[in-house]
Amino acid sequence: MSGQQFVEPICVRVNDAARMIGIGRTKLYELIASGEIETLKIGRATRVTTASLHAFARRYSQSEIGEARMG
Q: What is the pLDDT of residues 18-39, one digit of tens each?
A: 999 999 999 999 999 999 999 9
pTM value > 0.85: no
Instruction: With respect to residue 62, please indicate whether it lies within any of the assigned structural domains.
Output: yes
Instruction: State mean pLDDT over 4-29.
Output: 94
Instruction: With respect to residue 16, please indicate whether it lies within any of the assigned structural domains.
Output: yes
Cα–Cα distance between 53 and 59 in angstroms, integer? 10
DSSP run (H or E) holding 48: strand 45-49
What confidence score (pLDDT) does residue 2 get?
64
- Do the beta carbons of residue 28 and residue 17 sit within 8 Å? yes
- Do the beta carbons of residue 49 and residue 39 sit within 8 Å? yes
Per the structure, the count of domains in the chain is: 1
Range of the domain at 25: 11-70
Three-state DSSP state, 1: coil
Cα–Cα distance between 52 and 60 in angstroms, integer? 12
Instruction: With respect to residue 5, please indicate whether it lies within any of the assigned structural domains.
Output: no
What confidence score (pLDDT) does residue 61 get?
82
* Among 61, 55, 64, 50, residue whose Cα is nearest residue 20: 50
pLDDT > 90: percent of the chain: 70
Instruction: With respect to residue 3, please indicate whether it lies within any of the assigned structural domains.
Output: no
